Structure 1
Amino acid sequence: MTAYHLALFATAAGDKPLSHAGHAQLILAALAGIATVVVLIVWAKFHPFIGLILGTAVLGAVAAVPPEDVVTSFIDGLGSTFGSVGLLIALGAMLGKLLADSGGANVIVDTIISKVGRRTLPWAMALIAGIIGLPMFFEIGVVILVPIVILVARRTGVSLMKVGIPALAGLSILHGLVPPHPGPLTAISLLHADLGYTLVFGLIIAVPTLVISGPFLAQFMDRAVPVTVGADLNANAGVAADSHRDAGTSRTADIAPDEPGGAKQDQTSPVGTATMVDESVTKRPSFGLAVISVVLPVLMMLVRAVGEFTVKDGTTLRSILDFIGEPSVALLAGVLLAMLALGRAAGMPRAKIHESLGSGLPGVASIMLIVAAGGGFKTLLSDSGVANVIADYAEHAHMSVLLLGWLVAVGIRLATGSATVATITAAGIVGPLGQTLDQPHLALLVLAVGAGSLFFSHVNDAGFWLVKEYFGLTVGQTIKSWSVMETVISVVALICVLILGAVV
């Protein structure tokens, strides 16, 4: 077992539960805890971090767990989750911010778009979203890509849906299914899954899911939601960038002339890309180096995954491959390479590079706290005995573990609107069932939960309003396009998970 998997905290099989309550009371405790989280986040508009803390308290009270044990269990889970996932979120945010500030994102977009025709633009936008979305969180990817989508649609005459849906699908799929994004990484940690299997299976599932929910679905969306790019749509994108700063995004996508604040429009872009770059940038980074900086962490993790399949455990080579494929090591390598290949290559002074890296952290602080609090909630689910009771009921119901994980995540996603909360809570509920699975199927359970967490984004999801404002859509149009796209992603990914589960 690697160092990554040692950073786990679920109650070991055979440990004495903290509660002596009966099965019915424990089930009631789980429902009360989840209901508290949902009500506080959706109705009372509490921050999810506070909602999860209070939900944990209610769970412990109804399950008759001593208060001091509730606190201890929550803190243990919070600390372990933050230690195993928080570092990765921070490094990923740094890499994504430097990619934007250096103009590397512009280079990737411009190079790909300049080589494709009008008919293949939807596929190009899906490819761009796939590359840029690897190190970036969904909200940040939206901020960077949407002005590009609008500009491409306007200049080429292609409808907004045909180029926008593939871009959004690429970002969403990677966010929900592929490490090193926080959702999959947290589920890997909570379920004791193998990173290598999850990464390989996630990439395999992501490809057909993106093809179906991206370029193919965009053809139908174009007829269902016929949206053309007007002169005022660019202004809407700029307003949205400002209005969503509190969602963890940075103002890297305003469509505006050079202005104070340390950013300027990239005037060297062959298609006039409107993504903002740092004022210290004097030249464009290399396309090849920009792509390598983005995909290096994933390649290093894939090398480790291949080693797990082909190299004997305990050998020196296996130890080396395990080390370089650790997510924290891989992401750190990506950041260090980006400092040279993007920052210095773009003419950014050393101080500006470090300033850019640091400016990527405030926006993800909220995400780290939510993930950590979810880990505390999950730990009390396990320590109190609730998770084992739910696992027993599921086992006697003879339901597929993969389908159960997806259904639980769907329910919490619909209730809370948060993919992260859905992933964490669902992983905690179905965690004990994972003890009966081998590593390949445990990785598929992670992906089933991730797929469920993307189901039907609607008005209680910040992403819903982010897309609505950026694209200048009505609520109805957003439901017909974005919400339907998310549902297609979730269902297609589940089908792929079940197919893989039948053959591996």
Structure 2
Amino acid sequence: MTRLSVEMLAADPVEPITSAGHAQLGIAVLAGIAVIVLLITRFKVHAFLALTIGSLALGAFAGAPLDKAIASFTTGLGATVAGVGVLIALGAILGKLLADSGGADQVVDTILAKAGGRAMPWAMVLIASVIGLPLFFEVGIVLLIPVVLMVAQRGGYSLMRIGVPALAGLSVMHGLIPPHPGPLVAIDAVQANLGVTLALGLLVAIPTVVIAGPLFSKYAARWVDVPVPERMVPVRASEELRKRPGFGATIATVLLPVVLMLAKALVDIVVDDPENMVQRVFDVAGSPLIALLSAVIVGMFTLGRAAGFSKGRLSTTVETSLAPIAGILLIVGAGGGFKQTLIDSGVGRMILDISEDWSIPALVLAWLIAVAIRLATGSATVATISAAGLVAPLAADMSTTHTALLVLAIGAGSLFFSHVNDAGFWMVKEYFGMSVGQTIKSWSVMETIISVVAGAIVLLLSLVI
């Protein structure tokens, strides 16, 4: 089952695991989050254990039977590891191939030579936006992290100055631009025009990513001064390489998943027939798992063999790439378990029920509903799917452009303030070696800026078009 289909099912569970009222559920959510934050920050408990305990505490405060709370947590953990975990593992292998072969050195040296000083954050946001156009956020992270860390380390840049623009580029693409799953589902739900939504999405995305990326990174670098985490930097083995891969071959290998996923998206739009053989082939080739696996296999030849690696040396590279990510996999998986416990407890439905009586403009309502579900469940995709389903009737009398803006308002709201119930929060925290507080001051604030700026631009556009 794909990540999208898993989250669509999670967004609308058949039956909540608790019959608690709205007030009790609200208290349970706050209590669960408080337990996690206190365990990590005050008692220095490992994030995996804190998320596990916090999920069970949430279920207890919500009045859910313990066995059902455990089942929800393990289901969410399993689904997250099955989707995101495999991608992280493949990304780690590709990153280690890049490092050991000297390919990452080649890319970083070229970037540093072409874009130094003040231009570097702008170069990173451009690279991230291009790579992030067809990719899931998690895939983009695992592809970009080695380059981000090495550029920051070798060029002497603040990690936040380089990392925040890259994360902003990925996040904006994920929330606002089709063919990402959230925008596509919202387009289908409100019957928006794909081309118009894409055009307006790019119009909203460009100023948003500039403000939340290069501009905000100046302040993030002052607020969060963390060194590049040595354990996460791809380190090349000490042996002398007779040669290293060329820049073109290295970039082609890294961009292979991008090309495959973008080709899938284009074929889905042009062919639009699930039974068509061409579309079925591209649906497989362009899935995140196959796209990244293809890059790893190709990389063994274009990177490993190009550097003169033997079969044994390639096997060693793959083996040593997986050990450093074990902790990350468990933490991200536990984040998915906490999210699933929230959803199965009926928190998403609670937000929808409360919002039915709100009498405010459609675009603002769509943004607020998406914000509320995002804060409660931690999932941008679940927030987008749920909000789109609720406000779909409002699109009946809208023009083509305003229907597209409704989709973008939902997407903007779905990115608001990522925190401890979002698996992406833990990915960023662990990859960048930050504390919970530092992650909130950088990543969470950046996500909020994206959401508010994009929402404001959508409202402004609704007044002029």
TM-score, length of structure 1 as denominator length? 0.67
How does 1:349-388 map onto structure 2 within 5 Å?
A: 349-388=310-349
Structure 1: 5+ residue stretches without partners: 151-159, 226-235, 253-261, 265-278, 413-421, 456-460, 469-474
Q: CA deviation at 1:332?
A: 0.6
Which residue pairs with 1:157 in the alignment? none
Which residue pairs with 1:230 in the alignment? none
Partners of 1:491 and 1:356 in 2: CA distance:
39
Which residue pairs with 2:155 in the alignment? 149
Q: CA deviation at 1:326?
A: 0.5
How does 1:11-50 map onto structure 2 within 5 Å?
A: 11=10, 13=12, 15-50=14-49
Q: CA deviation at 1:310?
A: 1.5
Q: Name the structure where helix makes up a greater proportion of residues.
A: 2
Which residue pairs with 1:268 in the alignment? none
How does 1:78-477 map onto structure 2 within 5 Å?
A: 78-115=77-114, 123-124=122-123, 126=125, 134=140, 136=142, 140-150=146-156, 167-174=162-169, 176-177=171-172, 204=202, 208-213=207-212, 241-242=229-230, 245=231, 249-250=232-233, 252=235, 263-264=237-238, 279=239, 281-314=241-274, 315-397=276-358, 400-406=365-371, 423-424=378-379, 432-436=386-390, 448-450=413-415, 452-453=417-418
How does 1:70-85 map onto structure 2 within 5 Å?
A: 70-85=69-84
User: Which stretch has the larger CA shift, 372-381 or 12-21?
Assistant: 12-21
Q: In angstroms, what is the RMSD of aligned CA positions?
A: 4.7
* Contact 1:282/1:347, CA 8 A, preserved across alignment: yes
* Contact 2:351/2:372, CA 8 A, preserved across alignment: no
Residue identity matched to 1:400: L
Q: CA deviation at 1:26?
A: 2.0
Q: CA deviation at 1:288?
A: 1.0
Residue identity matched to 2:390: T
Partners of 1:135 and 1:359 in 2: CA distance:
20
Provide Cα deviations, 1:468-492, integer angstroms capped at 9, x if missing partner.
Answer: 9xxxxxx9xx99xx95798467424
Partners of 1:176 and 1:149 in 2: CA distance:
25
* Contact 2:69/2:341, CA 8 A, preserved across alignment: yes
Partners of 1:467 and 1:100 in 2: CA distance:
23
Partners of 2:54 and 2:286 in 1: CA distance:
36
Partners of 2:96 and 2:260 in 1: CA distance:
21
Aligned length: 417
Q: SS at 1:20's partner residue? A: coil
Partners of 1:484 and 1:496 in 2: CA distance:
18
Partners of 1:363 and 1:120 in 2: CA distance:
32
The alignment status of 1:491 with 2:449, answered yes or no, reads yes
Partners of 1:29 and 1:467 in 2: CA distance:
27
Residue identity matched to 1:100: A
Partners of 1:61 and 1:340 in 2: CA distance:
52
* Contact 1:283/1:346, CA 8 A, preserved across alignment: yes
Residue identity matched to 2:69: V
The alignment status of 1:53 with 2:52, answered yes or no, reads yes
Partners of 1:313 and 1:82 in 2: CA distance:
30
Partners of 2:13 and 2:122 in 1: CA distance:
51
* Contact 1:423/1:449, CA 8 A, preserved across alignment: no
TM-score, length of structure 2 as denominator length? 0.71
